Each structure stands twice: as structure tokens, then as C-alpha cells.
A and B are shown apart, each in its own frame.
Chain A
Amino acid sequence: MVKYYLQNKLNVMLVIKDLHAKINDKEILKGINLEVKPGEVHAIMGPNGSGKSTLASVLTGRELVEVTHGSVTFNGKDVLEMPAEVRSREGIFLSFQYPVEIPGVSMVNFMKAAVNEHRKYRNLEPLSASDFLKLLRERKELVEIDSALTNRSVNEGFSGGEKKKNEIFQMAMLEPKLSILDETDSGLDIDALRVVANGVNKLKTANNATIVITHYQRLLDYIVPDFVHILYNGRIVKSSGKELALELEEKGYDWIKNGN
């Protein structure tokens, strides 16, 4: 029993300790503690303004958010010291809530540059053009993205659903160790939701982990969490198993606000 506990402790992927962060002069995160192990799915739920997106921004290294206290380690390494591109190469992936359009930059050129940067970081040779296209095709099929999306400029003219699918496609291309899905379900109809969730589930392994940030319980029917945390006013106020999401759905966020 003790041996199992120690092994598990050593096997932690992400450790967030007492994290405080502010934007301009407003403190948004007021002491977050979280541990994520390989193979786990964690859901973070909370009302608007609770700090969900800020947490995602801190983990990916967006300069607008300033960390004032605490630490974040990923596989033992200090994340807060790393610029955004290094965090990505270390294996952290964020599926953006509002993916930006980049006219003029083709999806193919973009993904090729990203994939090869990741390979370089791991001392691997860059993929040849034909090997890259082969990978592209395989991954497209896996997450059910159609060709139209990859032939264009990044996210240009994409609908909300197409943008989200494109995020999962990029996840499939980069095979991250930790995926953070920031409100991936917002703006999606039920079919798009199913495709996106399917993609995420197909990419899950015993060695990677997922943090699902969401407002609604619905996504969690498809991407089933091992742990659910409720974020309120910059702190995680409740943590439990997946039933917590159902309870929250039933009782609403007021239940949390009233100190339950």
C-alpha cells in the first residue's frame, strides 16, 4: 500500500503549488493547488470570471498574465521559467477557446514548422516532405478532419466548430503529454462535440493527461473525467470524482457561491 503510494507520488506529471496570478493589477488566481498524473483526465469547472482561462494562460506562458506567487512543475521541470514555445516542445498543448485566424500562413507550413521544432527539441531529424504529408493524412483521418481545412490558411474563414476541430487536429499532430482543453465545447453543436470528443479520446494514452476546462457538464459525458475540480473566485473550492459534475449541473453555480 505504502509502496504504491510512493510510486504514484513519483509519477506526477504536473504540480501546481499555491499559484497566484494577476492581469494588470487585478489578482485572478488566488492560490491554486493541483496535481495531475499520467493517464488522468481532470475537469475544471466554474462560473464566468472564476479564473479558468487565466489558469490556461499561465500554464501556456501568455505574457499578459503575471505570476505573483507559487510554482508550476512539469515532469520535474520549472515551467514558469520557460517561454511559450519551450513549454510546447516539452509537451504542453493548449486547445484555445478562441483560436486566432492567421491569413497567409498555410496550415501545412504551420504544422510542418511546429512538428519539426518538436522533433529538433528531441534531437530527431526533421520529417521529409513526403513523411510529413503521410503523418498529416493519418492524423486527419483519426480526428475526422476533412481536406478542406488543411489546404487553407490557419483558421481562415473557419466556423467555430471547424476551429475547434482544427485544434484537436493539431493536438493529434503534436502528440502532447498534457493537453489543456479551454472551453472546447463552447459554440459547438452536438455533432461537432461528438467528433471533437472522439478525437480527444482516441489520443488518450496511459502516458498522457488531459485537463478539460468547461462550463457545462455535457462535454464530460463524452470525455469522462477521473477528477472534477470546481474553480470559484480564483481558488479550487471543491474536488471530487465525476459525480461532482452531475451534482453541479443539478444544483447550479449558486450552490458553490453559497459556500457549499
Chain B
Amino acid sequence: MRRTGVFICWCGSNIAATVDIDLAVAAAKKMPGVVFADQNKYTCSEIGQEMIREAIRTHRLERVVVAACSPRMHENTFRKTVAAAGLNPYFLEIANIREQCSWVHKDKETATDKAIALIRTAVAKAARNEALFASELPIERRALVIGGGIAGIQAALDIAENGFVVDLVEKEPSIGGRMAQLDKTFPTLDCSACILTPKMVEVAQSEKITIFSYAEVEKVEGYVGNFTVTVRSRARSVDMGKCTGCGDCMLKCPVKVDSEFDLGLIKRRAIYTPFPQAVPNKPAIDRENCRWFTAGKCRVCEKVCPAGAIDYSQEDELRTEKYGAIVVATGFDPKKLDNYGEYAYGKHPDVLTSLEFERLLNASGPTGGKILRPSNGRPPKNVAFIQCVGSRDKAKGNPYCAKVCCMYTAKHAILLCEKVPGARPFVFYIDVRTPGKDYEEFYNRAYEEFGATYIKGNVSKVFPDGEKLLVRSVDALSGALVELEVDMVVLANSVDARAGAKELAQKLSITTNAYNFFNEAHPKLRPVETHTAGIFLAGTCQGPKDIPETVAQASAAAVKVAALLGKDSLLSNPTVAEVNEKLCTGDMSCLAVCPYGAISEKMLEERRGRETVRRKVAEVNMALCQGCGACTVACRPGAINLKGFTNEQIMAEVEAICL
């Protein structure tokens, strides 16, 4: 038996109100191996920790059991406490008598019985705890940022500022993302491009940052500090070294297709840059539409290119690089409106989405910045803005709030009044949500100063009525029916996770919520980390958010990356799986269930009598193993054990709890 000390915590009234602490202490004193037991109002306090250290010294304790809250909360605290008194930190065992006992029970007598059983279990396990030691892992001092929108740009800049090399991977031919599509930004009405493009240029000029545009992450392997990532750079058909970005090819290309950047409101060529301020400002050939690639003739761009930069023979390039940390910043997609036939989107040219309206506002957009009705090219007078299209709609959209629509619609209403004298915005809303610095004031201006009429009521249907559109709703405040004849309808469509987010999550071994937004490790206290160490989140790929929030999260992710890459080495978690090669039969059931790819085959050479035999056994990569324990369950001969949670320890716990 090991000389064990038991420390029972009241956690104020959290535990003490439901568990009779005196009884528990008395019971603990009688448990096998226990030479000391005491209680404390707050064991995690400095006084409580000192009690543990003092008892280790005076009672020569070899094992420590703290009966308190979940190990998620204070296991680290107490590991450090026992280490400070000279014990191996893994000689500590926690009995969770709060979350798993006092918080979920009402009857004091039975809760006390259960608490005592949990303590007995922990004491039995602690006696079999072995000293474990973390090993050191090297760190690759290079970061990967996936996604070149404002989140990725900000994260890359901040990581580079901290002195680390960054690779920025962007799917489109240019970085810039959604923010590049916006005209003005709320609540200050600065021009979006005016504040974004300096950052894009900064990225391009940074010696620490390399942009991989027109590229996507193909494969991710490895672990924190040592990821191995393969990036596919799609064939651009343009030699980036030779191209000067003069744009002659884009003028002469005979193929016109819908511009993705302008949401199909205008055409682009088959060889194109998405927008005038593109970074890198060098075009790519869209092979699906290029006449040379589809019909085998044309080659006009090659003829007009003064630099000889067109290269039809280019192929996709695969590049594998090691990274210490990854920031995911892949952004969002505006919700597709297939489910919303009642709003006549796609049936009448004057029904637009908010992002399409944004392009009408923009000087580089299809109308040169004039708000004109797509149907007749004339400015609209009455415009209906419909909020929550596909948001707060659990029946056929997203149940969540897209968070940005209230504010950008207020902005649209203001810009409409500024650009079209005499125009009248009508905003149909369910609630108006403006939490943010200067946001409420901005919204106030929309109706008070600019005269936007806010109507509390979801629009039921938009009826195309010749040139006009008839909007039917109710003003829920007054109870009056609303029937408006308008010239344009703008739909504030919801924020969806980016198409392909789920697949990327699988590549990265990170999780998503029900709507494919990436999960943070903790909604309040670890908002930029994922559950996979070394992978961080920034921007709307984690959930709808506006630009200030996105930039703040990107900078936060960058700090986390810098803190990680700034370390000399990483301490590995020593509670990993271990193979007993004598027992291992080499049937590799463990390999099949390991979610982290931490198990591989190994050939052993053994002397058996006079001959040497080769035998297959499993091997655990300690750096990859996350200590989940799936392999220990799958292993039929019981040859694989999780250190700190060995079969022997678990059985001792079972035995103790069954007493």
C-alpha cells in the first residue's frame, strides 16, 4: 500500500451542501493506505494547496487524492501542487464529487455515500499510479493560414509580425475574401476596399509571408508543432514570374462568363483577376470555360501577352511542407435561397440578395456604384429590405441569427437614401439587434435621420406585379396589414458555413457543429483554439461575425500561434498508449480504431531456440497519440495499455466501487 493523503473540498456550498464532509473525511481515514485525511473550504485556494504540500512533507505521503470538482477544472493546479512538494505530478488522483455527485443529487445521505465510493475508487487507483514523464517534442517554426480573407490576412500579418514564417493559402486567384466584395463597412461607413487593400498589399510585401493563391489544402498529417501539409496549387496557366499584370489578355479574351466576385451581375473573361485590386494582380485561366481548353482553339491571350507569360501546359503543383501551427480562416457562404420561393428571388430581376445590392453600391460593381433596378436601369424609389431570410428559421433555414444582417441592412438603408434622393427604405424585421460599439447609434440614424421605415413583421410573400413588386406583411406593433408597392426587394440572406467546411474539418481532425461551423475548444474560455492542439480558428468559419470581431479573433489566433512557435520545444502528454510487445499478437485491431493515425506496424526479430523469427507488433507514436484509449478496448489480448489509465488501474477502481 502507498501512503495516501485524502483532501476533501467543500467548494463553498457547492459540495458541502449536499455531501456530509465530516462523514466523508472519517470514512476516508479508514480506507486502505490512507494515512491522512482532511477537509478544506476551498482546496484550490493557496491555503488549501499549502495544506497538501505540508501533509506530503509531514506525513511522508506517496499518493494524493483530491476529492473536489472535475479534473477538467483543477487537475493541473493540483499536479503542480504535488510536484512542488517533490512528488511526480501523476501521483495525484482526483475524485470528482462535484459535477458527478453534489451537483446532480439532492439527497444528502445517498450523495455522501456516493462521494465516499468515489473517493475510495480514487484511492484504489492512486495506489497503482506510476510516475510518468513528459517528453520533449521539437517545433517547426512555420505557420499555415488557410483562407485569405480579412481573418486570414490579419492572422498572417500578426504571426509574421512576431517573426515567424507564414504560408497563406487562398482558394481564389486573389486574396481579399468577402470583405473585398463589400462597398462600405458599418458603423463608420469607411470604404471596405480602402481599409482592406493596404493590408492585402502588406501581405504581398511581407518577407515572412508567402501567398499561395488558386490553391487548396489537400492533406494534413502530424500533430501540434509538427504538421505535414500538402497544398495543391491549381494550374493557373499563367507564368507568375513572367506576367506583369498588364491585363491585355483580359481585354482580348473572347469568352464571357458570370463573374463570381460580382455574383453574376456582370461577366468576366475566361482569363481573369476577380477584381481590380487583386493580390496577386496576375490573372488565371479558368480552364472550364477557356475556349482553348474546351474547344482546342483560340490562344488569343497567348498572342496578345507581351511578356509571353501564358503557359497552357502548366499542371497542378503539389507542395508538402512542415508547419508548427495552423490557423483556419475559411470564411462563410451567403445562404442559397432555393427554399424561399415566396420572395420571388430569381423570378424578378429587381429582387436581390444583400451581397448583390452591395455590389450595386460599389464603384467597381456592375453599375459603377449607382443603385439602378436591374430590370430597367432606373433608380428605385421604394425599396423593401427583408431581414432574417434563412436565419432564425428552423423549418427551412438556419435556426441561428446571422448576426450581421441588422447592421448591414441599416447601412444599406442609409446608403440608399444618400445615393438616391427621394428614395424610401422599408425594413421588415423580427428583432433589430445592434450589440456593438456605436452600432445602436448607427441604427438610430437610419430611421431618425434618414427616415427608414422599420416594420416589425416578416414578409410573407413578394408578388411580382408587372414592373413593380408587391410586398405583403403585417406591422406586428400596430396590428396593421402592410401592402407595399416597391421597386426593389433586398433579401438579407443568412450566413452559411463555407461549402466544403465539413471535408476540411475531416482533413484537419477538428470538429464542426450541426451547421458545419468549426467548433472552438471552449465557447467562452478557449474561443480561438480547436480540440486539436496547434489548430486555431479565425473569423466566420467558426460562426457568423462581423469584421471587428473577425479581426480581433484573427489577432488572438495569431498570438496563440506565436506563443506556440516561440517555445523551444513542446512537452508531450505522457498519458499515451503503450504496447506490451510480449503480449501483442500483431492482429492490428488497434490500428483500425485509432482516430489519430498514431499506431503503426513494427517487425520484431526474436531468437526462438536456434532460429530467428520475425514477428509483427503494433507501435505507438507518442507524439500522435492523444490518449483516447480506443485501442485498449479493441485489443483482444490486452497488450495495449493507456499509461495513467492502465487496465490494472481501471479494474482496481471497479473493484473499489463495487465494495
Question: A and B, one complex?
Answer: no
B residues at A contact (CB < 8 Å): none
A residues whose Cβ falls under 8 Å from a Cβ of B: none
